[in-house]
Amino acid sequence: MHEGLKKSVCDANIELHKQNLAIYSWGNVSGIDRKAGIVAIKPSGVLYEELTPDKIVMLDLDGKIVEGNLKPSSDAPTHLELYRSFNAIGGICHSHSLSATVWAQAGREIPCLGTTHADYFYGPIPVTEPMTEEEIKTDYELNVGRAIARRFAEINPMQIPAVLIANHGPFTWGKTADEAVEAMVILEEIAMMAIETLNINPDQTQISRELLDKHYLRKHGDTAYYGQNKK
């Protein structure tokens, strides 16, 4: 069952590896069937080269294994918390991609320094608060998900489909597992650009509200006119 979901989640994990955003088993992508309440996720510690759809683990939203012989990604509780908190998302991606991880390790949000960023993300990429001793000791991975949800209390996750876990790395999401990986690719690109922009001009500030609106809204929402399927 859910062969289509397993296949798409397997493909998205392999794509993450092909895009050079995850070596060994350093990343995991999941997808959800909202109607069935079933999440498909990468098994823990399996190399991308050895990943096949039948190894994808199926969980319900409480984390019970519904199908599959392998243990799910150790980050599964984070994924599940995000699916429970953000109703519109259909896929989630976690990686340790170089430049985004660097911003997470630096504990700094990625400012919106150009239209490449504004084309995909409607504002700076937020960073969570550092995990407390309490949050680390018990239900750590679940608490990571809660820290993300708290950080998005006043942000629309579909307008900024990415976050940096302080001292750790990025999570991205989208309507599908595929879109979550695409957001990760783009996050890595703008993270790299932002590092070098501030290298040249440490005082550079974010782009204007008008330019942010223009670029984000020409690709997203009712007034979008970029691409072939927009009005």
Query: What is the phi/psi pair of residue 33, to 5°?
Result: -100, 100
Integer Cα distance of 200 and 210 in angstroms: 24
Pull the structure tokens for residue 49.
């080269």
Residues 109-138 that bind a second copy (CB under 8 A): 113-116, 130-131, 133, 136-137
Distances (CA, A) of 146 to 80, 135, 179, 197: 10, 10, 22, 32
Which one among 169, 172, 173, 187 touches a second copy, defined by CB under 8 A? 169
Q: Name which of 75, 74, 155, 142 is nearest 109 in CA terms.
A: 155
Q: By C-alpha distance, which of 56, 166, 41, 148 is closest to 107?
A: 166
Q: What is the CA 44 to chain-centroid distance, rounded? A: 18
Could you say whether residue 228 binds a second copy (CB under 8 A)?
Answer: yes
Of 26 and 152, which has the nearer Cβ to a second copy?
A: 26
142 is an interface residue for a second copy by CB under 8 A:
no
Which member of 96, 142, 152, 175 binds a second copy (CB under 8 A)? Answer: 96
Please say which residue, 33 or 67, places its beta carbon nearer to a second copy: 67
168 binds a second copy (CB under 8 A): yes
- Kindly state the smallest distance separating residue 213's Cβ from a second copy, in Å: 8
What token pair was written down for 79? 């994924």
Select which of 119, 140, 213, 222 is catalytic.
Answer: 119
Where does this chain touch a second copy (CB under 8 A) — which range of 31-39, 121-129, 145-153, 219-227? 219-227
Q: Which residues are catalytic?
A: 119, 226
